Every structure is written in structure tokens, then in C-alpha cells.
Amino acid sequence: MCIKKFLIFLFALSFTGFQVNAKQFWDNHLRTDFLNNSTVIYAINIRTFNAQDTDRNGIIDFSEGEVSGNFINAINRLEELKQSGINVIHVLPITPTGKIKALGTAGSLYSAAAFNSINPQLKDHSFSLTVEQQAKKFVEAAHSKGISVIVDVPSCGSYDLFLQHPELFVKDASGQPVVPSDWTDVRLLNAGDENNVNPDVLNLYKEFVDLMQSLEVDGIRADVAHSKPAKFWKELIDYSRKKDPEFLWLAESSDSWKDAVSNKAVFTPYDKLLEAGFDGYYGSYFNLKNWKNAKELKAQVEFNLSLEKKIGTKKSVIGSFATHDELSPMLEKGRNYSKMIIWLNATLPLNSYFVDGFDTGDKYIYFWANKKADVTFTDDDTYFVHRGKIDIFNFSRKPGGGDSMLQREFVTANNLKNYVLGIYKNGELKFLSSASPSVFAYAITNSDSTVIVIGNLDFKSSTDSKVSVPKLKADAPVMPMNYNSIPEIKNGKIESKLEPGEIQVLIFDNFSML
């Protein structure tokens, strides 16, 4: 595709927002899309997604008539996501939250008090529809805009659930439920082991699958998937696909993780989870913040590209650079780090992944964090939060920062992803050699187009970048998608002085490296 055609393509996308043909019904195609790396996933917490904090104090004051996020008002933001190039929403848990031994004034999203019902906190009480009916309306509205929906299934149960069904939980020698890791508000479910899956917990999760499929969601993200045996997941995934073969399963799992959440818990490595039927996993891209050498990025990309050969069936990965468990990129390393995450998601062979508020530079700082609350809906009277991470514990403000330039770059990069996918289809990824160890460089190239990406992993110092690009001519037509410094195109190389953490994306017309 020539540069002129690409400009027309990009211009059209800015108006269409990835529109799909109107249908009277939704045809789930998410598993295929994910395995082709064509999804742009946006994680949201319904409880805060479109919260109406009119006095802007950061917390939802129900006594003042303020409204927390719910399924109905969430519908109003779907067009915004569509126009940003989002085609999949990852909804953080919508199960009822525990109220006993809780964290936060609303209860953690991951402290599930039940698996066969929906959190009543997410209901708009001005409508007569049940919360389940409202959830289905939200899913239908997303589908009408060409957006797929996956929902998170928590890995543990709340203390409330333990009191009701102690038989579902792992217990210590004194008969008390086990607290996994340092997650004090949840207790470890007893899913069994590879020899004997616990049918009671399996049925609990089957009820969750039934509920999600009744809402017509398109897939499930499994929280801390490695804490359950592969046999458990295989039975559950097979169960879900009898009804919908395109039902996506994404494992929160990493090749970096080696330890169980408790000495009482099983640990199932990522490859066994993929063999059990998961379509993809988190990988280790969240380690980008620690990488200093470009070889580390290259090794992770090549590792994930080898999954199909290792597992025997097609698998994929998300760009887990900044999940809801990771510190805000703006706090981690600043604006250039966010920009690097945006463009890596758009150009690497993976599924793009972002969290609500990332695109506008939210630092997820809440001034009332960990202070005593005036009102609580749990037995915790403290506004518990994880500093620098999206709030999942309280009725708090809508995520979002004020960086409009970052948001525009976010939209542009998401639009570019479709163009890059077209090159991948008949082309390949090539890593390029750089004179500086901290500078990574790679090209996506086919017979007539090439996209070259160059980035500086040194977030403290500028770096003189000299990247070798075989066959490149100094007069090659080029369109820079973004840059702080101006790259110099020479015969066989690209030179520039990269700012700390700077990334450059260059589109070359009528140039192939094949």
C-alpha cells in the first residue's frame, strides 16, 4: 500500500471508527481475531467507567446525588471507544463483592461473593430492568458498535462465600481458609489437582460460564490462571466451546512467573495452560520497564512467536506492558514510556492492550487514598487503594487524565495497527542491528511496503542511534508517524539522536526488505 493510499486509509478510519456491517444478530469472531493479533483491547471497571463525580472530589457521594458507574451509563462511552479504535472491551469482574474482611469501601472486584450472579452495585436503579438485563443491554450495545466483550473471572472467593460454602475452599491445619499471597480479602478456592479436579469448584465456574454466555459475551479472561490445574481449565474451556467455538479464553499467566500464590496452591505453568485450551496469555511484556538492552525485547518477541511450534496449535499474547496490576506508565517512566507502549502495541505481532485512563495519561492518584472514610459499604472504613493503579476497591471517579496529545497519538497508532496487519499478512518481522545496546529496531516488511520502528530503552539519557537498514536508499519516500528528534535517512541506515525513551515509527513506500 503506497503512502498516498495509506493516508486515505487513515483518513477513512478516523470517520468510520472500525465500523462493521449492521446485523440483526452478533456473530462472535473474537477467537479468530485474537489469534490473528487483530484485537485492540481496553480494560474497564464498570463501577468507575462512567461514574458521575459532579463535585470532582474523586469519590462518589451518593448522598449528594452522584452516580457510580453502571451498565446503563457505561453505554454512553462506547462510541468514544469505537472512535479510538478499540474493538474489544475487557470488563474487570462483575461478580458480587465480599463485604467481610474486605478491602475498600465498596469491596474489591476480585473478592467474589458469588459466581452465578452479577454485582448489584452495577445496576442503574432508575430502570426497572434487572442487573442481568442491564448487563445484557451493555453487551448488545457494544456489539452494535463492532466491539467484542470479554469478562474477568476471579480466581478466589470472598470470606463471605467461605462462610456460606466452606467446602469450596482450601483449609490449613486448623481448618481456616487459606489466604493466598498477600491478598487478605480473598480465600483460596480448592480446584483440586491434575489427578482429581474438585467438581464443586468446577461447577461453580461452569455456572459463571453459563451466566456469561447467557449475556452473549465473547470470552473470558481468567484471573491468576496458574492457581488452578490444567485439567480444570480444559474441562471448563471444552464446556464453553460446545456452545460457542469462537469463545475466547485469555490466561493471566506469564513465562516469568514460577511460584504458586500459596504453599497450599497448585502452580500450572503458562505452556500447560495454553495446551489446556487457552488462546493466549499475558507473556512478560510488563518487564519492559526493567529492560535496558534491546536484546531483551527481541528475545521476548521471538519467544512468543515460537509458541505455535512449541504448543502445536496457534496461540497469541497481549501487549501486557501496562495492565491494571501495573503502575501507571506516567508514574513509572513518564510520557515517552506511554508513547512507547502505544506504538509497540500497534506494530509488534501481538494483541494491543490498554487500561481505562491510560490513553489520557491518568496517574491513578487519589488524594483520599488510604484515609478513613465517612461512609462505607463493607466492614472496611478506609479508602484502600493501590497507589498509581486504577481503583478497584471503592466507588471512585471516572478514570482519565488531561493529556489530549497522548490521546491523539493513541488513536493514530490504533488506526495504524490495521495497516501493519496488512503488511504482516504477506510479509514478515525483521529485527535490525543498532550501534547502541539500548536502541531496539525492527521492520515489518512485505513486497512493497515497510514500517520501521526504532526506540531508546534508556529513559534517562539521549542516545545517538545508528540503525542498519539493508537496501535502504537515502531518497526513499518516507512518512514519519511520530518523532521528537528528526531521523536522517541515508543509504543503508537511519541515524538520529533519540531522546530518553523516544520511539520513532517510519513508513516507507515502494521499499521492501524481503
> DSSP labels for 375-413?
--SSS--B----TTS---SSSBPPP--S-HHHHHHHHHH
User: Candidates 3.60.70.12, 3.30.70.100, 3.20.20.80, 3.40.640.10; correct CATH number of 39-292+313-330+358-404?
Assistant: 3.20.20.80
CA distances from 142 to 137, 240, 453 (A): 9, 21, 33
| CATH code for the domain defined by 427-509 | 2.60.40.1180
Structure confidence at residue 37 (pLDDT):
98
pTM for the whole thing? Answer: 0.95
Contact 323, 345 (CB under 8 A): no
- pLDDT tens digit string along 228-264? 999 999 999 999 999 999 999 999 999 999 999 999 9
Structure confidence at residue 10 (pLDDT):
56
Question: Residue 312: is its pLDDT beyond 90?
Answer: yes
Tell me which residue of 475, 474, 482, 485 sits closest to 451, measured CA to CA: 482
- Residue 20: pLDDT band (50, 70, 90) is very low
Distance CA 391, CA 240 (A): 31
Question: Residue 6: is its pLDDT beyond 70?
Answer: no
Compute the mean pLDDT over every residue in the chain, rounded to the nearest whole number.
94
Tell me the mean pLDDT in the region 70-79. Answer: 98
Question: Residue 307: is its pLDDT beyond 80?
Answer: yes
Tell me the mean pLDDT in the region 124-131. Answer: 96
Phi-psi domain of 17 (left: phi exceeds 0; alpha: psi -120 through 50; beta: other): left
Structure confidence at residue 362 (pLDDT):
98
* Residue type (1 letter), 247: F
- pLDDT tens digit string along 344-363? 999 999 999 999 999 999 99
Which regions of the chain carry the CATH code 3.20.20.80? 39-292+313-330+358-404
Structure confidence at residue 484 (pLDDT):
82
Contact 161, 113 (CB under 8 A): yes
Backbone φ, ψ for residue 80 (5° rounding): -60, -45
- Residue 145: pLDDT band (50, 70, 90) is very high
Question: Residue 23: is its pLDDT beyond 50?
Answer: no
Which regions of the chain carry the CATH code 2.60.40.1180? 427-509
- Residue 4: pLDDT band (50, 70, 90) is low
- Residue 266: pLDDT band (50, 70, 90) is very high
Give the rounded distance of the alpha carbon of 186 from its chain centre. Answer: 23
Structure confidence at residue 2 (pLDDT):
57
